[in-house]
Every structure is written in structure tokens, then in C-alpha cells.
Structure 1
Amino acid sequence: MRNEATHTFETMTDASALPARVPTTRHYLMCPPRYFAVEYVINPWMDPDEPVDVDRAMEQWTVLRDTYRRFGHEVDEIEPQPGLPDMVFAANSGTVIDGRVLGARFRAPQRAAEAEHFRRWFVEHGYREVTMPTKINEAEGDFAWTGRELLAGTGFRTDPDAHAEAQELLGVPVVSLRLTDPRYYHLDTALFVLAEATDSAPAQVAYNPAAFSAGSRRVLARMFPDAVLVREADAAVFGCNGISDGRNVILPREARGLADQLAVRGYEPVLLDISELRKAGGGPKCCTLEIRK
């Protein structure tokens, strides 16, 4: 199995008995962290007194981008803007399903201007169905597409009313989930989709149960009885902020327990260093907006 961090995934499972995981080619939009900084506090991970190494952040981001390309995925880049240090976290700036684009409206005023830069990028690149939300909506930070429905987080950033707006504008069923731990302030810090649903198989997800309300845990257990339940030690290093193409799963290098869990399921974990970006509360998924045409 792939090993980006000199970690061996040891299992007792016969490799021949593992399910065949088939990757699908993805299209991503990313933003280089040229102006990355931690200048304010809008989540529990941010500390302006802790030094930030922009060059190291660029190196980590570049490895992530190049890893996507190595797996055959298409990666577009948007030009970063001075004064917007969190623009690197592109996932918060749009949700794209069947070519329809629902933009973002940020809760924190420090990030508000990002939404217009991403809106313009989509318009300039030929997307005709681009709608900006009227409710606070932090896009793929709180929206996860399973292939059949849109899982929608609330509790800290995205307004509950934004879930109904997303259903109306994107034309897909939406399932609301409540986050209760401020460390996991976006859905993409607490859950990610490992394999999208197909005509013959349901979606598979990984999530941290402790991040959700009791009712939301029951909903997730009912919808995904075969989910990978992420342990707190892995969640606390942004293990749930992973990216999967159906086989290859990009994770922070510290999430080794989760990597072992996924390897047993037949996935190929790829561990990358995102430690500098985590200083602002971000990981692989935060840096990655998926374009679904």
C-alpha cells in the first residue's frame, strides 16, 4: 500500500478478501497560500501568537496539489489575493453539483471578500448557473455530497436556513446534521465521504461521532451503518478532513489509526504533512473545492 510517511499499514486481513476500490477522476479548484497567515481568531485552532512559515505552507500545499495530479485528477488554481490569508481554504467558497454553482456567504467578516473572487472565477470559466446564497453558507466546509444527497452541517458557521436554500438552488435532497464541538466547527472537520453512492452500492463515509448531536448521530447510524467511526485521536489531527477518490484517501500524516482502519476496508491511505495549514484550522479537504459537472 502507498506510504507517504514511512508508516506501514498492518492488518490481519487477506488482501484477496478486500473489496475492490475503484478510483474516479476528480476535478478540483485550489488556491495557493501565498498570503497565508494567522492574523485573527475565528476557530479554536488559530493562535496569532504562534509563528507561521509561509514557505512551508506553500510546500505542503504544493505536495497536496501534485498528489492529486499524480492520481490523474484535474486541478485548477485561483489567484490568491493579499489581505485574504484564509483564501487557501477553497472548499469554503462554493458547492458545485451537476455544473450548478452555489457560492458562499461567510459568517466571519474577515473572510467575506473571498466569496466574490470565487464567484468571478466560476463566471469567467464558463459556469452559467452561479448563484450566491442569501443565508450564511460556508459551502463545502459544511456540505458533503454522497452521490445521492447533500449532508449539511450547522451549529457554528452555516445557518440552518441555508440547508433549505441549497436544496432549492441545487435541486438535491439535503440532510441536516448538527455539530456540537467547537473544535469541529465545519462538517468537513468531522465527516468525509470515502466512496460516493452508485446504482449498485450505497455511499460510504467516515466520521467522528463525538462531534455531532445525539440526534445527528442516530441519523448517521441509520444512513451509514457501515461507516468508519473515527477515533478522537485521529479527529483531533484533522483526520476527518480527508479527501477520497473512491480508493486513494489523502489524510494528515498524524492520522495513522484512521489510515489503518481504511486499509482494512481496502482503501489506499496517503499520509501528507499539512501541519502548517492546520495552524489556521485547515487540512486537505479545506484546501480543495470539488467541481462536479
Structure 2
Amino acid sequence: MPSTGRPPRRATPRRYAMCRPEHFAVAYEINPWMDASVAVDRDLALAQWETLRRTYTGLGHEVDVVPALPGQPDMVFAANGGVVVRGRALGARFAHPERAAEGPAFAAWLRGAGVAVHEPEHVGEGEGDFLVVGERVLAGTGFRTAPAAHEEAARVLGVEVVPLRLVDPRYYHLDTALAVLADDDVAYVAGAFDAESRATLERLYPDALLVEDADAAVLGLNAVSDGLHVVLPAAATAMAADLDARGYVPVPVDLSELLKGGGSVKCCTLELR
């Protein structure tokens, strides 16, 4: 096989926090994916979630389960519960009152897991808008997380924070428009960002995987990578083929029921670093 010029991909064991969709429903509409008139099959959502959890453990990763709170149908989207770097977390403060109770619940659980949690001063929705790429954090704004939260994250976590502005409401969180593949590698859909942010991404990641709108529109970029295996929505078939060509191992899963709430693989997964 001819050399690609890229170093071989290597998996690194990870520790994730997840929350079962015991109370999952589309009871309100706070993103373009939600339609409260569409029925939700909670049993199917639970089964799909369990497949994702077993996928992680089958790949050698550790999964902790955060207790689900009644009346919090979006708590399954654990990535929004904070961002953790080197054992320290910036907690979550949600833009919409419907999700406000999730912030303290995730903060309490993280403290119980030995993580030092900073109570946020500004609206910031965890790994929904703060994505760790090596020693850098890419930070989304435009729909949920406030720009002031970017400065707060840099101060609290002690990392470089690079702001990116989202402009397409379908991609209301950064983790719906950009996937972290490795410490120096990302994939994204260009149309989700304003011109300045696209220029920033092109400068920082000139070899990034550019994903077509058809795969982004099924939340294909809402993916989780361990450096080798990329767990992603099964419907993102072209993205999976592109990942394979780059030396990654795509691991497709079906989270179509949870997509009704506007989330997929990454939304369900908070990494504990």
C-alpha cells in the first residue's frame, strides 16, 4: 500500500460521562431539529443509547453514567454539562430556561467524580461549544455560548481558546459543525461558520477534512474520536468513507431517535480529561 505521508493513527483510552435518556422527549422547541408534534419512542432512544455506550466500552473506553433527572428531557446530551481539562471543569450555564437545572446537576456529579468545577459566570454550554483539540480549545458562539464565556474558559482552564462564530441555525452548537479527530486534526462543514472563522480554521488546520452538507445535515460531525476510531452517525456515509481514506476507523451507530432532540453521538458524550 502506498504511503499517505501521515503518521499512523493511534487510539487512546478515554473516560466518558453519559446520561441515559430515561426522560427523553421533545417537550419544547429550542433548536431547528425539534418538533414537539413528532412522537418520540423512548424505548428506542434507550436502546440506541445503550448501543453507543457498549460501543465505547467495546473499544476499551470507560463510561460513567450520570443519573437522569425527571423533567429534564435533554439531559441525555451530557456533552453540554461542562468542559473538563486536566481534572478541572468549567461548568455549564444554559441559554434556555428549559435546561437550566442541568448545569447544577452535572456540576454536582463532576465534583463527586473528583473534578474541580468552576461555577460559570456567563452562558456557556459545555462541550457543545468548547472542543478540546490538543492543547487548544475551539470555542463556538453565535447561538448559545456567550463570547464572554470564551475568556472565562481561557482563565479557568488555563488553555488557549480560539473563538469561532456559527451562522447556520442547524449547527447551533460547535459540536454539530466540527469534529475533533486527533490532537492536530479536525473535520468541519465550512458553511456553518462566518468568513473570519473559516479563515481561522483554514490557517490552523490546512489539512482538515471538509465535510459536505449532506453528511453535516444528518449531524455526521457530531462524532467522537479516540485518535483512531471515529464513532459517528450511521447516516453520514460519505464522511465515513473519507475518514477511512485518512487512516481512521469509522464506527457507525444509529441514534436517529435522539436526533429528534437535535443531538447525536458527541452530544451524548462528555469526556473526562
What's 2:71 paired with?
Answer: 83
- Letter of the 1:266 partner, please give it: G
Taking only aligned residues, the RMSD between alpha carbons, in angstroms, comes to 1.0
In structure 1, what is the Cα distance between the partners aligned to 2:106 and 2:260?
23
In structure 1, what is the Cα distance between the partners aligned to 2:114 and 2:175?
27
Match of 2:198 among 199, 217, 225: 217
Match of 1:60 among 34, 48, 65: 48
Shift of residue 19 of structure 1?
Answer: 4.5
Please state if 1:289 is matched with 2:270: yes
Question: Any unmatched runs of 5+ in structure 2?
Answer: none
Match of 2:112 among 96, 121, 124: 124
Question: Any unmatched runs of 5+ in structure 1?
Answer: 1-13, 197-202
Please state if 1:206 is matched with 2:193: no
Shift of residue 134 of structure 1?
Answer: 0.6
Give the 5 Å matches for 1:1-293.
14=1, 17=4, 19-127=7-115, 129-196=116-183, 203-292=184-273
Shift of residue 125 of structure 1?
Answer: 2.2
8 Å Cα contact 1:191/1:205 also seen in 2: yes
In structure 1, what is the Cα distance between the partners aligned to 2:158 and 2:3?
40
In structure 2, what is the Cα distance between the partners aligned to 1:120 and 1:181?
33
8 Å Cα contact 1:38/1:280 also seen in 2: yes
Normalising to structure 1: TM-score of the pair?
0.91
Deviations 1:204-243 (A, max 9, x none): 0000000000000000000000100010000000011000
Normalising to structure 2: TM-score of the pair?
0.98
- Letter of the 1:269 partner, please give it: P
Give 3-state SS (helix, strand or coil) of 2:111's partner: helix
Which portions of structure 1, spanning 4 or more consecutive aligned residues, are displaced by more than 4 angstroms?
15-19
- Letter of the 2:249 partner, please give it: E
The change in CA–CA distance for 1:47 and 1:15 in structure 2 (over 3 A counts) is farther
Aligned identity (percent) is: 57
Structure number with higher relative contact order (C-alpha < 8 Å, ≥ 6 residues apart): 1
Q: How many residues align?
A: 272
Deviations 1:67-111 (A, max 9, x none): 000010010001101100000000001100000011000001000
- Letter of the 2:146 partner, please give it: D
